[in-house]
Structure 1
Amino acid sequence: MARETQKIVVVGLGYIGLPTASMLATKGHTVLGVDVNEAAVNTINSGRIHIIEPDLDILVRSAVNSGNLRASTVPEEGDTFILAVPTPFKEENGNPKAPDLSYVETATRAIAPYVREDNLVILESTSPVGTTQFIQQIIESMRPELKGKVHFAHCPERVLPGHILRELVDNDRIIGGTSKMALTKAKALYKTFCNGAILETDSRTAELSKLVENSFRDVNIAFANELSVVCDRLGISVWETIGLANRHPRVNILQPGPGVGGHCIAVDPWFIVASAPDEARLIRTAREVNDAKPHWVIEKVRAKAERFRTPVIGCLGLTFKANIDDMRESPSMDIVQMLMASNIGTVMACDPNVAAEKVPFPLHDLKDVIRQADILLLLVDHEEFLEIDPQIVKDKVVIDTKGVLR
């Protein structure tokens, strides 16, 4: 049985690892956060944060000042190891969307020398089915004396960027163990900070459940995005159409946008497709619909640009959703970069949540973009953009992918 307080090693200090490490530290656990980014490690050890998330700065400062949280580039021995590293795509056998488990493997190999008998190893990274068993095989191959003596579980994160701290505590949590003892230990740990229900299953079912959650959302977003293209062809407002249809008591159509981004919804469905390519037909089609939407937006801009000799295209928003700084798999970022490469016109990008050093092109002030743009392309519904007076842009060509400037 897990002790009430533990020494916990969290590998990966990004949008999931850092909030989790900080939350555990404020609950009395001794936490070592590990990351390959030395600048991020130094920032955290000074009580500051390197990512934007509401109230995370307060939590990290409290955790560091308590002495329960510190960061390092090297793991140490502990009672529990939590892996919260990226699981992106890679090219494999002609498939550009194959799961890339290199970060998971590297993190697993990094902790293997420090793992001891009766330790718990938790994979939080959203992963293809079988990944928890994969890390178990790695550790047992590197440390054969520990075979059958270390416990493994998959506890997928289920939080929404912009609301991570609240959802980390309040959301129900799935725990998939490779053994009964793994379930017991993981449940005891998460109960120290989770108010939501703890749902127990095996590791493979837990892995698929997380992929299914995001694939469900992706399929529904694809319906909205496809509907926006249909409405555009018919000369009908998609926003009004959805608003009217949603008045039916059993209809709840989501809102369309320029595509789908973020590390979860834009990625996870492909993990299911990779595992069952012949069976996951609807999931694959939804991904293709959503992946095609940025190209449709580009063509809309291209068509409007033909009326200008040298148009200035103002692009509002780079992140994958509103009011955060996260640009992972962002369709808005892809659109801006494709526009710049296409030479359709001069592109001026604006995002109040993104630091200038995080993008490879200049960022501009919102007022300057509105004043100079011939075409205004709204890609993200940041709160700053919601305040734009429609009268100020009434003489512009406006392409609004989020229905903000209607």
Structure 2
Amino acid sequence: MSQPKICVIGLGYIGLPTSAIFATHGCKVIGVDVNEKIVNALNKGEITIEEPYLDIMVQAAVRSGNLIADTKPHEADAFIIAVPTPVTKDKKADMSYVVAATEAIVPYLRKGNMVILESTSPPGTVEELMVPILQKSGLKIGEELYVGHSPERVLPGKILWELVHNNRIIGGVNRVSAEKIRDLYKIFVNGEIYLTDVRTAEMCKVVENTFRDVNIALANELARICERMGINVWEVIELANKHPRVNIHQPGPGVGGHCLAVDPWFIVEKVPDLAKIIELSRKTNDSMPQHVLNRIDEILKDVEGVRRVSILGITYKPNIDDVRESPVIELIELMEKRGDYEIRVYDPYVKAHKYKAKDLIEVAEGSDLVVLAVHHDCFKHLPLDDMAKVMRNRNIFDTRNFLSKEEVESKGFRYILLGNGASR
């Protein structure tokens, strides 16, 4: 296919990089988003999310005329849907964005078009939810309109590199759909492309993230067990992972992001009577912010009145600006409900937060406890001497095993490590 025209619905963390890569590979791309701020920024060559080198790529794509943005779809050869698929409060998949995007493109569909869902969704979404809507176009699915699912597998902070180099799964409603979608992605994908049916592709994506979530749940459960037994879980995991067939992930204050904290619920929703380990793992990871608060209560039990806590980092992973499903946000909300904490936050990647301090000294001023919640690289060597001068009580609670215990204690701080029962 020479220089196809592609319409990408959703200009978030996946849709925008995907649009930019296709555009810089010679395709004409229309990026569509309901948020006019995002659309207006993109048409100026600006981006509204942080991702290394994305601004350079977007500027080049816009200047070339290959990338434009609009609030409504245009006719195209291929339509890629990359909209959010969050979970509701009762842990059910909210597919309203997928439904709205699918309905929006129906008037623009023509014979020979492709429709590709990139959004991670419960198995059966394409066949059971999207196909009935697409049939309103009057086109024969799999013969005149080629439909499938091609989930992304990227890590924030490395999205552009991984979109190109990672292996990719493509599931079609039939074989010809999968093959045509494969030929489209071959424009920029250097990794291997594996073809399957659409339901298997949907399941593969949620299983990949479920595996990681279950593994982290094991680590978090071990952390709590080791705390009770007076053992350091970080040493346990490090030594256990010396076994050639063991790879336990690391514990922390919870699991966040648009994938791990959400996708396992898609399986639980489909087969709740069978997905017992998956559901328990989700509940284990969701319980970690409360466990961290319990530890904070324990650390500051002798402090009278309102206790002042400084939190370093509120994103769901280090060195990015993404706060989606962040367990640190959940921790802050739990502390707010209590009412007996004064909270300050410092995160250089997050531009606005109601408790935001301007720097590490301001966040520590008058504090009884500093909580290292996210292991941003910039937190590796804290200005401990200056922080010690302004703190009321010198306590540091490291939830990521990121700081040097020896360095922290040499500056007169009490160092507490999540998952280390010996430090209780």
Which TM-score tier does this pair reach, normalised by the shorter chain? over 0.9
Equivalent residue for 2:92?
A: 98
Equivalent residue for 2:103?
A: 109
User: Where in structure 1 are there 5+ consecutive unaligned residues?
Assistant: none
CA 1:29–1:386 in structure 2 vs 1: closer, same or farther (change >3 Å)?
A: same
Deviation at 1:367, TM superposition (A): 2.0
User: SS state of the match for residue 278, structure 2?
Assistant: helix
Give the one of 286, 297, 302 matched to 1:307. 302
Q: Is the 8 A contact 2:361 2:387 kept in 1?
A: no
Equivalent residue for 1:343?
A: 339
Q: For 2:147 and 2:75, how far apart are their aligned partners in 1?
A: 16
Q: Is the 8 A contact 1:116 1:146 kept in 2?
A: no
User: Where in structure 2 are there 5+ consecutive unaligned residues?
Assistant: 406-424
Q: Does 1:322 align with 2:318?
A: yes
Deviation at 1:240, TM superposition (A): 2.0
User: SS state of the match for residue 153, structure 2?
Assistant: coil
Q: For 2:299 and 2:381, how far apart are their aligned partners in 1?
A: 25
User: SS state of the match for residue 396, structure 2?
Assistant: strand
Deviation at 1:363, TM superposition (A): 4.0
Deviation at 1:279, TM superposition (A): 1.0
Give the one of 373, 379, 387 matched to 2:373. 379
User: SS state of the match for residue 91, structure 2?
Assistant: strand
TM-score under structure 1 normalisation?
Answer: 0.94
Amino acid at match of 1:20: T
Q: For 1:28 and 1:232, how far apart are their aligned partners in 2?
A: 56
User: SS state of the match for residue 92, structure 2?
Assistant: strand
User: SS state of the match for residue 99, structure 1?
Assistant: coil
Matches for 1:15-34 after TM superposition, within 5 Å: 15-34=13-32
Q: For 1:389 and 1:365, how far apart are their aligned partners in 2?
A: 11
Equivalent residue for 1:76?
A: 74
Between the two proteins, the alignment pairs up a number of residues equal to 397
Q: For 2:394 and 2:108, how far apart are their aligned partners in 1?
A: 61
Q: Is the 8 A contact 1:386 1:404 kept in 2?
A: yes
Q: Does 1:88 align with 2:86?
A: yes
Equivalent residue for 2:284?
A: 289
Equivalent residue for 2:255?
A: 260
Q: Is the 8 A contact 1:302 1:344 kept in 2?
A: no
Which has the higher mean CA deviation after the structures are superposed, 12-21 or 54-63?
A: 54-63
Q: For 2:247 and 2:255, how far apart are their aligned partners in 1?
A: 18
Report the aligned-residue RMSD: 1.5
Give the one of 43, 46, 57 matched to 1:59. 57
Q: For 2:271 and 2:357, how far apart are their aligned partners in 1?
A: 42
Deviations 1:271-305 (A, max 9, x none): 00111111111111111111111110111112223
Give the one of 30, 33, 58 matched to 1:35. 33
Q: Does 1:353 align with 2:369?
A: no
Deviations 1:35-61 (A, max 9, x none): 011001111111111001111111111
Equivalent residue for 1:198?
A: 193
Q: Is the 8 A contact 1:305 1:345 kept in 2?
A: no
Amino acid at match of 2:379: F
Deviation at 1:245, TM superposition (A): 2.1
Q: Is the 8 A contact 2:9 2:83 kept in 1?
A: yes
Equivalent residue for 1:9?
A: 7
Q: For 2:201 and 2:282, how far apart are their aligned partners in 1?
A: 22
User: SS state of the match for residue 259, structure 1?
Assistant: coil
Equivalent residue for 1:298?
A: 293
Deviation at 1:143, TM superposition (A): 2.0
User: SS state of the match for residue 372, structure 1?
Assistant: coil
TM-score under structure 2 normalisation?
Answer: 0.90
Q: Does 1:244 align with 2:244?
A: no
Q: For 1:313 and 1:195, how far apart are their aligned partners in 2?
A: 47
User: SS state of the match for residue 343, structure 2?
Assistant: strand
Q: Is the 8 A contact 1:336 1:349 kept in 2?
A: no
Q: For 1:289 and 1:391, how far apart are their aligned partners in 2?
A: 37
User: SS state of the match for residue 328, structure 1?
Assistant: coil
Deviation at 1:383, TM superposition (A): 0.9
User: SS state of the match for residue 402, structure 1?
Assistant: coil
User: SS state of the match for residue 346, structure 1?
Assistant: strand
User: SS state of the match for residue 89, structure 1?
Assistant: coil
Amino acid at match of 2:124: G
Deviation at 1:306, TM superposition (A): 2.3
Equivalent residue for 1:276?
A: 271
Q: Does 1:121 align with 2:119?
A: no
Equivalent residue for 1:207?
A: 202
Q: For 1:334 and 1:56, how far apart are their aligned partners in 2?
A: 29
User: SS state of the match for residue 88, structure 2?
Assistant: strand
User: SS state of the match for residue 31, structure 1?
Assistant: strand
Which has the higher mean CA deviation after the structures are superposed, 367-376 or 9-18?
A: 367-376
Q: For 1:301 and 1:14, how far apart are their aligned partners in 2?
A: 35
